[in-house]
Structure 1
Amino acid sequence: MRYVLGKIENTVLEKSGLPKKGKDFIDRLEVEHILPQTPKDKILTIEFKDKDDYANSVYKLGNVTLIESQINQAVNKFNDLNSNWFELKQNEYSNSNLTSTNLLNHNFSIGNNTALNRFKNDSDYIFFNWNKDSIIKRQEILLDLVFDSWRVNDKRIDK
């Protein structure tokens, strides 16, 4: 999982005109589940019909990101789904050294009319809240990045 997310991170950086991250940096990161694996008091929002429905969303690629250990420890406390948990996580995601994680905060940008901002807008990588639809939307964005990351003869295999 870390390898795939690291490769996607480097594709985002390449599209944004930023330097890629090395293997040693990626290897030190942890996988963060945006929608928490263990919600506080096991209380789910009405969006989920049961714990299996919830788990189906939690373990999708669109619901995970790479993050530094210290930040992961901080965001693990934001698991009360009946609070502003995603907003709290977004604030912490801004502290990461990973662009794909920074982008989970809808306020994140670099400069004006930069390659990163164009990528963010063109891919609609903007999330104001986090739910099933957000996970599906991000999973589609990540799948597009996967096709950009792994090419055959410099061509996307989906084209």
Structure 2
Amino acid sequence: MPDSPLIRTPRIEDAALLGRIHQQCWIDAYGPHVDEDYWLHSTEERRIGAWERLIRRADPRRIALLAEDGDDVLGFAVLGLPLEREHPGIPVAPGRELQHLYVAPGERGRGIGSALLGALPAEPIHAWVPAAFSRARHFLAARGFEPEGAVEDAARTLAGLPALRLRRA
């Protein structure tokens, strides 16, 4: 891998690789916390379709980036408007939300997440992180994110894990 990965906007031909790495990251992160039945509806094919839709539906309020080394997608980030439906009853935070920041399991610790985060605009943003994901929380804390008080009940989160909202001013 070069000293730093190439960071760019995804193209439609990247959707399959992004869907594959997205699913790998989810299995790695959420696998120990969810029932086997969860993976019946959370599939690589669905993630590929989601990436195809995201790439085709350009939205100036959303920024999607990927990190690559040659033909290998190493990670990705998506910054967009908060999705109120994902956290009903919790006031929406001002600014944009870091909806995704994932690095392939075999590529972590090499500066890829930092490069993706650094390529996003220097603006106040927030991110929801499962409380159990200490590595992700520490990573974001080292980059200026702090808990801002909102907590999502485990029963209302996608994977059944309580989540904290972190904010970078």
State the TM-score, normalizing by the size of structure 2: 0.31
Larger RCO, structure (CA 8 Å, separation 6 or more) = 1
State the TM-score, normalizing by the size of structure 1: 0.32
